[in-house]
Each structure stands twice: as structure tokens, then as C-alpha cells.
Structure 1
């Protein structure tokens, strides 16, 4: 079975309707074998009080893209994805513009997926480095 990039991106963006991803204006923009990329605008909606990108917004982007990426490897009619642990190192601040989250698979087991998510800006500068563990469960 071949990977259909456009179908995957459409599916991810459709799943986002009426969710936090839509509130944060997260849009899935690129996918391939073992990776998924989304973008999110940085503006006052995702700032902390000092006018900088809130670390929680970066983590929300990371978990959103990493969880959606696990869906590339499961049968969505029979399985569900749950994020069970996430860690983040915030390395650079950002006031405005666009950030990109790219999830790359580190470990793909039957019940656990481990992802590295790099959050970068328009100039490919690393903003945050995250690690996400997803559990794969039977659909209820």
C-alpha cells in the first residue's frame, strides 16, 4: 500500500474541526514516510504575558502533530492514539510569525510510538525540541 500524502493531510485537517488545533490555527502542511509537519501562527492568541510564544502553545503544536502522525501507522477503524507523555525543551523565544512542528518517528511498536518533534521558525531556527510517547489502543 502506497502512502497518499494529500489524503493524509486532508484527513488531519478534517480531524481538526471544532478542536484545539482549529483554535490555535494549526494546519497540517506536509507528510511523508515517517514524518508529518504542521504550522501555527505566532500572535497575541498564543503569547504569554511578556508578549512571547507561550511554551504551552508550542507543546500543543508538538502533541497535535505527533499524535496525528501516529494515525499514519494505525487502522483508525480499529485503533485509537493517546498521548501519554510529552517533554519539551524551549530553546528560543518568538514574538510573531509562523512556527512549524515536524514529527519524526523514533520507535514504531505495536502499542507504543515514540516521536521527536522539532519546532522551528520561518528561518529554520530551532524554537523547541519535544519528545512524545503515544499509546495505541483498541477503538472502543
Structure 2
């Protein structure tokens, strides 16, 4: 009986913590989707969730399947793919519009995440926008 009561108490506390963590992570995801063009770092995102960095990174990874900064980069790359396929804006301007001040750094990241550089992507996918993830 005693162990059953202890187990029930810890289960309730864990479920409450998970619900709170889930809500905090969902709040940060919404924030990323609307503020991805701004400079964001792990410290700022953890602060938005009201957690320390380690706990936030763990909760985010558990919820989203990737770490927060990787999610941010993936979201930015998704937006870049759409912009490259649907506009004739310069790569430098697209990089700046999604939060990267350095077009060379953006091009390296883009190649890492898509397998081709922005110009190649535009040539292959112009007027054929990818679905937004």
C-alpha cells in the first residue's frame, strides 16, 4: 500500500511536469515560427520557456525530436527553400530575410541541410515551391 501511494504521487508529479514542459516547448515553437528572422540562441529560448538551458534542451528534444537550434535552422532552411523557388531575390537578401547576416554562412548551412547550394536549388526548383514543413 505504501509503495503504491508513493508511486501514484511520483506519477502525478511527473505527469504535471511533463504537461508544463510540453506547454513551454509549444510556446517556444510558436515563438520560433514567428520570430525566426531575429537572432535567437538557446539561452533566449530557454528563458522564454522559463527553464534552465539543460532542462529546456532535453524537454524540447523529447517533444520535437531535435534540439532547439537544429529546429530553428531547419525552419529557416524550409523558409529559404520556398523563397529561392518562388522569388528572384538575391541569395544575400534571402539569407538576411531569414535571420542570417552572412550569405556565405547561410550558403554553407543550406548545402549541409539540402545537399545543394542555393543557386543550384533555385535552378532545379524555380516556380515549383516545396511544401512548407
**TM-score (ref. length: structure 2):** 0.33
**TM-score (norm: length of structure 1):** 0.32
Select the structure that is richer in strand: 1
